[in-house]
Amino acid sequence: MSEMSKIVRTLSNILFPFIMIFGLYVIAHGHLTPGGGFQGGAVVASGCIMLLVAYGSTWVFEKIKTSRLSVFESLGALGFIGTAFFGLVFGGWFFNNFLVRNGIIFNIVPKTGSTLANFNTAGVLPLMNFSVGVKVIAGLFVIVLVMGYASSLKEWKQ
Amino acid sequence: MSIRTIVAIVFFSILAVFFVFTALMLSFGEPKKTDMDDYIIMHTQNETGTNSGVTTIVFDYRGFDTLGEATILFAAVSGVIMIFRRVKK
Amino acid sequence: MIYNLPFIAVVAMILIGLYAVLFKRNLVKMVIGISIIESGVNLFLITLGYRWWGENGGVAPIFTSAPSEAVKNAPESMVLPVPQALTLTSIVIGVAVLALMLSLVMHLYKHYGTLDIIKIRRMNEE
């Protein structure tokens, strides 16, 4: 499909950084507030799809090949399973939380009761949130890009 | 009125009677008391170190279901790409 | 009966989606009906786990700046967290099934030229 007018392109250029920052905030604070990997990934993917609609799918498909985006998705899946396997190496069982009390980064246990939010808590969970977020962003963007490009080829129009 | 329409009307009315009867019998706001949810709420901050009860269930107490869900996302994306491939001659 | 209002909304959504699948001829309207049924089932999962407490209702099971009245009598004042975690998985499965259904509808349109299921069946029987 072809691109839209100049007003639509300028406004989506202005709005895209705000949507991306809000989506990354929802992904990163998954262990303190409602949210997490899947929800934040859906927010960032909808921002990317807004850019795809404004600039036309024929131009975007020549700039970004789908083979580069599938590398992103595979990195996300490997990060998730690799973190689970490290739990098997350092502890005793699969999906062990090996960074909670005796780790390097996320190793503070909060006091019981209603506390303020501390980012340094909750062991393995922020790493898993990032991996799943990257996977969901790449997956949803590739689905819409392939469907939008394939419907504008000559053999699909009747 | 073909046979398809008559069968569809009968099926729809039987299911509607079942569903409306179920919706009037359930009580809103009083679930049965389980031990699993009380244990998870009381011991989340001690064992896992998170403040949020829902994220520990998704990634720590029941992380195996999240692994299956990531596999479903991967299978859906590869299925969509496979349908729209062009064979180059 | 007015207190059962979320369950009556769930039944209304499932029946509307079922009507769209059974009685319509266009393929895209059937896909929209399946998506409405999935939304109704997700709403049913969440309303199964709600707990009344006090005068304002239940509190979310999150301890970041929670009200101190709700933290003192801890397991009875908070909503059950397990159905909310399983609804997340159900939503993602709904998205995956919807993506595959729409690509198959596009493929059918390219092959037959129409989206009417009775005409597709007649073209297939020849």
Chain A nearest CA to B11, separation (Å) = 35
Residue C34, CA atoms < 13 Å, CB-side half-sphere: 14
Instruction: Quote the pLDDT of residue A94.
Output: 87
Q: Is B89 a domain residue?
A: no
Q: Is B88 a domain residue?
A: no
With a cut of 70, which residues of chain C have pLDDT below it? Answer: 1
Q: Is A34 a domain residue?
A: yes
Domains of chain C: 2-52+74-125 (1.10.287.3510)
Q: Provide the pLDDT confidence category of residue B89 given band limits of 50, 70 and 90.
A: low
Instruction: Quote the pLDDT of residue A157.
Output: 67
Q: Is A118 a domain residue?
A: yes
Tokens at A148, concatenated: 């939008």
Q: Is B43 a domain residue?
A: yes
Instruction: Quote the pLDDT of residue C91.
Output: 96
The structure's pTM equals: 0.91
Q: Is B28 a domain residue?
A: yes
pLDDT above 70 for A151: yes
Number of domains in chain B: 1
Residues of chain C contacting B86 with CB distance shorter than 8 Å: none
Using an 8 Å Cβ cutoff, are C57 and B38 in contact? no
Chain C nearest CA to A113, separation (Å) = 6
Residues in chain A: 158
> What's the pLDDT tens digit per position in A90-135?
888 888 888 888 888 888 888 887 888 888 888 889 999 999 999 9
Chain A nearest CA to C99, separation (Å) = 7
Going C102 to C107 to C113 to C118, the CA torsion angle's sign is negative
A118 is in which domain, residue-wise? 6-156
Q: Is A131 a domain residue?
A: yes
B33 is in which domain, residue-wise? 3-83
Q: Is B38 a domain residue?
A: yes
Q: Is B23 a domain residue?
A: yes
Which residues on adjacent β-strands are paired with residue C59? C78
d(C-alpha A104, C-alpha A91), whole Å: 15
Q: Is A67 a domain residue?
A: yes
Residues of chain A contacting B51 with CB distance shorter than 8 Å: 31-32, 110, 115, 117, 121-122
d(C-alpha A1, C-alpha C71), whole Å: 55
List the single residue in A with minimal CA-CA distance to C91.
A38
Average pLDDT over residues B30-58: 88
Q: Is A1 a domain residue?
A: no
**Is ipTM strictly over 0.85?**
yes
Instruction: Quote the pLDDT of residue A26.
Output: 95
Least confident of A140-144, B3-7, B32-36: B32-36
